[in-house]
Structures are given as structure tokens and as C-alpha cells.
Chain A
Amino acid sequence: MTRKRRRLWLLLLCGLGLGSATALTLTAFQDNLVFFRSPSDIAQAAPTPDRAFRLGGLVEAGSVARETAADGRPAARFRVTDGAHAVSVTYTGVLPDLFREGQGVVTLGKLGPDGVFRASEVLARHDETYMPPEVADALKRSGHWNPAEGAAPPAASWNTLEPERSRPRNGS
């Protein structure tokens, strides 16, 4: 085999590898990109019921109702707000340790045709002073930084809003 033909082979293989990687990435992107939506975004244009997305905001004070689902599993019903608008959320499963009223939360799920968000995952971080950056951003955009009547998160913890005041505190 000549050097030229070998080079051709290598180029062909590299093209194949790169091509398949690109094709796979693009197809996977098409179905699996998860967008972030705030309650105001949903009020403007509701996403289709078949597409999963992440909904974030503050847990509205006084909206959390813990119940038991038909199959005996624990469930919860609460409202996520960014001040301007709020969305009702249902979730079956154990809520995270730091799920509190008035605190930032990010949920993953689909919006039902009835306008109720069915969450399959509820994310709240292991740190009480943590504010998900998407939530902080959504609150900033809606112009209401503290819509909940409950205890507002201390300003120092809004790390994306006031970077110079937020001190790093946790570890590796």
C-alpha cells in the first residue's frame, strides 16, 4: 500500500468518525436539549405538552401542600413564582432536604394541557444560601426579586447578582 493510499484511508476514517460524531450530536440535541423557562415565559408562550423543560423560580409562600398519591407514594403540590406570574406544580416523590417556601427551586418536567406542570425532578441544592443562577436571572428579568411573603434569601447569597459580595464557602 502506498503512502498516498494510506493517507486517503486515514482521511476517510477521520471523516467517518467526525461525521458520525456530528450526526449523533445533532440528532441527540434535537430531542434532548432542555430549555429553562420562568413562569413569565410560560405566560407569554406555553411550551407544548410533549416537550420536557426546566421551570425555575421561588416556591410561593403558603402554596406547598404535601399529600399522598393513589399508590401510597408521597406527593407534593406547590406554586413556582417569579413575582409577575406563577405556575402550579405537582410532584410525586421525596422533596429535597432544602426545599423550602420562599426559596429558589428548579424543576424538570412537562407542562400539562391544563396548565399544571408535572415535575419528574425537583432540584434544590445542598446549600441554604444557594440561588440557582437561572432563577436569579428570571427574577431579575421579571423585576421582582422578592415576591414571596416568606423569608427572603439574604442578598449576599444572590451570587450572580452581586458577585463581589458573595464569599465562597463550600468545598471540593
Chain B
Amino acid sequence: MIPELGHFVLALALALSLAQAAVGFIGAQRAEARLMAAAGPLAAGVLVAVGLAFGCLMWSYVVNDTTVANVVQNSHSAKPLLYKISGTWGNHEGSMVLWVLILALCGGAVAGFGGNLPSALQARVLAVLALVGAGFLGFILATSNPFDRVWPPPVDGQGLNPILQDPGLAFHPPLLYLGYVGFAVTYAFAVAALIEGRVDAAWGRWVRPWALAAWSLLTLGIALGSWWAYYELGWGGYWFWDPVENASLLPWLAGCALLHSAIVVEKREALKTWTVFLALLAFGMSLLGTFLVRSGVLNSVHAFANDPERGVVILALLAAFIGGGFALFAWRAASMTPTGIFAPLSREGALVMNNLLLCSIAAVVLVGTLYPMFADLLLSEKISVGPPFFNTATLPLAAPLIGAMAVGPLLPWKRARLFPAIQRLWWVALGALAAFLLCLALSGARIGPALGFAAAVWLIAGAAADIADRTALFSRPRAAWGRAKGLPRAAWGAAVGHAGLGVTVLGLAGMGIATDMLAALKPGETTRLAGYEFRLDAVRDVTGPNWTARRATVEIRRDGALVTVLEPDRRTFPVGRMTTTEAAIHTTVLSDLYVVLGEERDGAAILRLHHNPLAPWIWTGAAIMALGGGLSLSDRRMRVAAPAAKLAAPGMGKAAQA
């Protein structure tokens, strides 16, 4: 009964979405306040319906209802409760329902908090969101119904892929989707602005928080995925330039460019067409990511189904939304005239450079990700593009970006001179140079990591210099505290975000000087790595809730003193007939000791030992970046209504509140 209810409310949500789209577009076109006001309550209705459908699916997983095909294929009664719940979105059908649920949440938020928007703009935004939602609801109902029944019901399910049974990964998809789908809202704003032919500061003030929120959550989602790859896959790496990872990096890069150019629209009313273009691009990349991951064109843990029909439908949706968006852009963009004029060397100029470099990096990553697919289709040549390609092609573009990141915030709007900025940054540059030379001296002439450390110091100290400059810390230290308190949170957010990237780069540079070794040890034997002594005590059998494992006990000492005891496993899951390696990690703030148990032969266990300096900083930095985004979001200016919007729609905005 519950699955049928879920199926029904899903269909209801589709009908409500179509109604919402029609009401929004027609109402805004004819300027009929009553029609426009109906879009908000309809968005609330869609949210309730999709929420109910998601609840029904989750219920089926929690009670392990084996009459539901989706549960049979992806769940098992012996699975811990957390993974039964996360199993709801750990498969194709369920994850699409989660996608639509988040989209409905965004629609509800625009309806609920958008009271200060001009009512025509709000109605059009809701209509576009509803259209996107209807597309995906139709996709779910037509090709991937999560509530399909099987009869007779099997005794139990087939289980969830064991490497996905992990708390980090339980929350990775929802965060990532919040980011992906958040860009649907900026897309809807861009399309609405194109229809109206008007982009102003009020529009920028609305787009920026959504871009910021989506970008921050996407940052967290990517970091969580990378962290999971680091501790779960047991290869000691954190980023493999896998197409699936690139699929999440592309919208992140486009979104990063968008949130910066939205600042220029809001503050200076320049770069309007470009910002609209980026908003379309960011969502296009999100949809492309969804297509790559969901259609089965890629083979990875993410590719659920090699069902060509689904791929074609997602491709059609992608073409409709992106093609439609860009066609509208080509038709209407000329009508938006820029008003703010600026010199090449200015804050705007620096932001243009940021956008250009971020987009170039995105273009390189896009080509590298899609080329193997096209080569296979057109030249029938099996090619793979690996990390060496991405490293050689993106690093030369990332270097000037990092260089400009510290200088940009110090430049004034409109027109700037380079000399005053250099004057305020000389100690930062000196610090970076010192870090470079220090690292060269210590790590033995390895240019790559040394440049990484220099870049990290440049970014972190550059953010500090920005704050010091704004608070006049050096010129009038007494008043600095007062000025720091009065500084807008957006300024703090920008500095924290930039420093966060610096912390991540520090982690990456640290991983550049990581060392690892393979050792075949018999119980009682020892080996040395990076000044630590590793001793294998014993290997024994262990039994878990749905697995059995071989577990090694490794004692790690430094100068005779016990540092830690690590217990890496090799787990065998009888339900999926799979084996996974569980790395054991001992982390201090400055480095990770990472031990993986390999095969056993002739009484010896093969251990892979890694010493990863600064590894945890990679993900800490990402969390700091997201925190910077959050700080910026909490800025008072983001919450205060734009005066222009209030004048345009007195009262009407209120009526549209759901």
C-alpha cells in the first residue's frame, strides 16, 4: 500500500509541477496577480507531494519490503539501519527522487522567502523550476519507477555495494545534490531575467546567495567524496581525475565563476550578460554531471545501470534545458546593456580574470572528460585520459588564478593602480618566497611541492593582508578591533574562503612529499618509513554484522615510544560476493599514517604503508571554504530586501508568499 501511495504522490507532483509552470508563465505574461500568486502554493504542494514520495520509499527500505523491486536490488535485512536509510538514495531510482525532492525544496524556498521579489520575476522563476522538476518527475515515472513491485517476493534483498556502506558516503550524495540543484535556482533566475530582458542589482542580490549556498554545499559534497575515496578505496590517493569526479568539479568551477561575477552585477551593474551566461552554464554542468553519472556511459561505482533508454531521456532533458536556455540567451542577451564601466585594472578586471581562468580550467577538464567518449563513438578508438593530462593542462591555468586571488580583493572598484596593492602585499610575497626556499632546502629540490607551499602561504597570508588592510591594522592599530567588528560579513567570508583554498593547497603540497612503501612482514617483523617503526603483531579473523574479515594489528613506534596501534582489515561480504580493504589511519594535525592490508602469502602479510604529511588539511580547507561561503551568506545585506524590488511590487510580493 505504501509504495502505491508513493507512486501516486509522485504522479501528483508531476501534475502540480505542470500546473505551476503554466500558472507562472501565463500569469507573468498577462500580469495577472491571481495567477502569479497561485504559483507559490503550488510549489508548496509539489514539495509536500515529493516529500511524501521520498518518505514512502525510505519507509520501504527501513522495513525492508521485499515486494519492491528497488529494495530487493539494493538492500538487505542484515544491513545496519543507517545504510538502510542511505540506501534510499544509494541507487539510481532513489537518487533521482532525492534530486527532485531537493529541487522541490528550492522551489518551496523561492516561494516562501521570495516575498520581496518582483512578483512577475518570482512567478517566472517558480515556473522554470517547475518545468525542470516536471522533466525529471516524468523521467522517473517513465523509465525508473522506484516503486515497481516484484511478485512473488524474494526472501531477502541483494544488498548494497559494500564500499558504499560508509557514513561518509551516506551524506555525500545529498550534499552534492544540494549543490547541483541549487544551481537550478540560479538557472531559473537567469531564464526569467532573459524573458524579462532585464538584469539589475536586485537580480544580482538574489542570484548571489543561491550561487553561494549551492557552491558551498557542492564544496562540502566534493570534499566528502574525496575524503571517502582516501580512506575507503585504500589507494592512499584523494583525487583521481576520474570522469565521475570531474562531473562534480565542472559545476563547482562554473559556480565559483558565477558567484564572483554576481558580485560585479550586484555592486557595479556590469558583466550582466556574462553572469546570465554563467548561470546557464553552471546548471548545464550540473545536468551534464547528472547525465554522465546516471546514464551509464561511464563505468564506475556511480554507474548504476547500463540502460540506454535512461541515458537517452536524460540527454534529451539536458538538451532541452540547456539548448533552450542558450537559445533564449542568443535571442535576448543583446537587450541587456551594461551600465557600469571599468578599467582593465580594477576589482572588476580582477574578477573578469578570475572568471576567464576558472572557465578555461573548466573547458580543459570538460574536454579531457568527454574526449574518450567521443573518440570511442567517432573514431572507435579506446582512449583514456589520466591524471598526467589534467595536471599538465590545469596547473598552468591555476597558477595565475592563485596569483590574482591575493591581489584582487585589494584593488578598488572601477579603476586601480597596481603599486598600492603591491605595497600592501610585499610581506605576503616575501613569506611565499621563504616557504618556497625552505621547502626546497628541506625536501631536496622538488619544485612541485615547493611551489605548492609557496602558493598556500601566498593565499593564506594574502587573505590576512586583505583583512589587515580593511581594518587598517597597521596604520591605526587602536581602531582595528572596532573596524573588524564593523566589517561586513561578506568581506570576512571572502577572506575565509580564499584562506580555505590556501589550506587545501597546503594539504595538496603536503601530499606531494608523501612517501609510501610495500612490505611483506611475518608476525613480529618490523620495517621503517619516514622515521616511524612499523611492527606487525598478528593477523586474525574477525566477524562483523554482514561481513567477515582478516584483521592485522600493526604497532607503530617512533624513537622507541609507542605512537599508535593500527588495525587494517580485508573484508569479505558474502551477500555481494565482494572483498574490500579497510585502511587504518592514524591522524595527527600534521600528518597521516595510513596502513592497508594486502594479500597474505607464505605466512607473511603484505602491508602498504603511507606517510601523508598534511593530508587532513585538504578536506579541512574545503570545510573552511564552505564556512567562508556560509559567513558571506549570513551577511546582513543578503537578507535585506532590495529597495528596487519593493518599489516595483508593493504588496504583491507578500501575496505570493506561500
Contact = CB atoms under 8 A, between A and B. Distances in A.
B173 interface: yes
B363 A128 contact: no
By size class, the interface of chain B is 35 or more
A13 B352 contact: yes
Interface string A1-38: 10100100110011011101100110111011111100
A172 interface: yes
Main SS at interface, chain B: mixed
B163 interface: yes
Nearest to A67: B601
Interface stretch (B102-110, B190-198, B381-389): B381-389
A21 B364 contact: yes
Contact of B385 (A21, A34, A159, A168): A34
A168 B92 contact: yes
A24 B364 contact: yes
Interface residues of A, number: 53
Interface in B579-627: 579-581, 596, 598-599, 601, 606, 608
A94 B299 contact: no
A13 to B, nearest CB: 6
Contact of A163 (B306, B392, B606): B306
A126 B163 contact: yes
Contact of B520 (A14, A72, A127): A72
A98 B577 CA distance: 10
Nearest to A5: B344
Interface stretch (B27-35, B261-269, B354-362, B628-636): B354-362
Given A73-B518, A97-B570, A133-B299, A172 B90 contact: yes
A115 interface: no
A170 B90 CA distance: 8
Contacts of A133: 299
A108 B240 CA distance: 15
A94 B608 contact: yes
A137 B382 contact: yes
Contacts, number: 161
A166 interface: yes
Contact of A25 (B304, B342, B393): B393
A68 interface: yes
A132 interface: yes
Given A1-B341, A24-B393, A127-B161, A134 B382 contact: yes
Nearest to B308: A163
Contact of B382 (A10, A35, A171): A35
Main SS at interface, chain A: mixed
Contact of A166 (B163, B306, B596): B306
Contacts of B579: 97-98, 126
Which of B342, B381, B392, B601 has most chain A Cβ within 10 Å? B392
B161 A126 contact: yes
Contacts of B608: 94
Interface string A35-79: 110000000000000000010000000000010100011100000
B384 A126 contact: no
A133 B373 CA distance: 12
A147 interface: no
Contacts of A9: 344
Contacts of B385: 29, 32-34
A74 B397 contact: no
A93 interface: yes
Contacts of B77: none
A36 to B, nearest CB: 3
A31 B392 contact: yes
Interface in B357-384: 357, 359-361, 363-364, 367-368, 371, 381-384
Interface string B499-525: 000000000000000000111100000
A10 B363 contact: no
A90 interface: no
Contacts of B361: 21
Contact of B599 (A95, A128, A170): A95
Given A27-B392, A74-B520, A14 B91 contact: no
B68 interface: no
A13 B352 CA distance: 9
Nearest to B161: A170
Interface in A76-119: 93-95, 97-98, 108
Interface string B283-301: 0000000000000000101
Which of A28, A108, A159, A166 has most chain B Cβ within 10 Å? A28
B384 A36 contact: yes
Interface of A: 1, 3, 6, 9-10, 13-14, 16-18, 20-21, 24-25, 27-29, 31-36, 54, 66, 68, 72-74, 93-95, 97-98, 108, 126-128, 130, 132-134, 137, 159-160, 163, 166-172
13 contacts: A24-B393, A24-B394, A25-B368, A27-B393, A54-B384, A74-B598, A93-B518, A94-B596, A94-B598, A97-B579, A168-B73, A170-B161, A172-B304
The 4 closest A-B pairs by CB, nearest first: A36-B382, A170-B161, A32-B389, A94-B598
Interface of B: 73-74, 87, 89-92, 95, 158, 160-161, 163-164, 169, 172-173, 299, 301-302, 304-308, 341-344, 352-353, 356-357, 359-361, 363-364, 367-368, 371, 381-386, 388-390, 392-394, 396-397, 517-520, 570, 576-581, 596, 598-599, 601, 606, 608
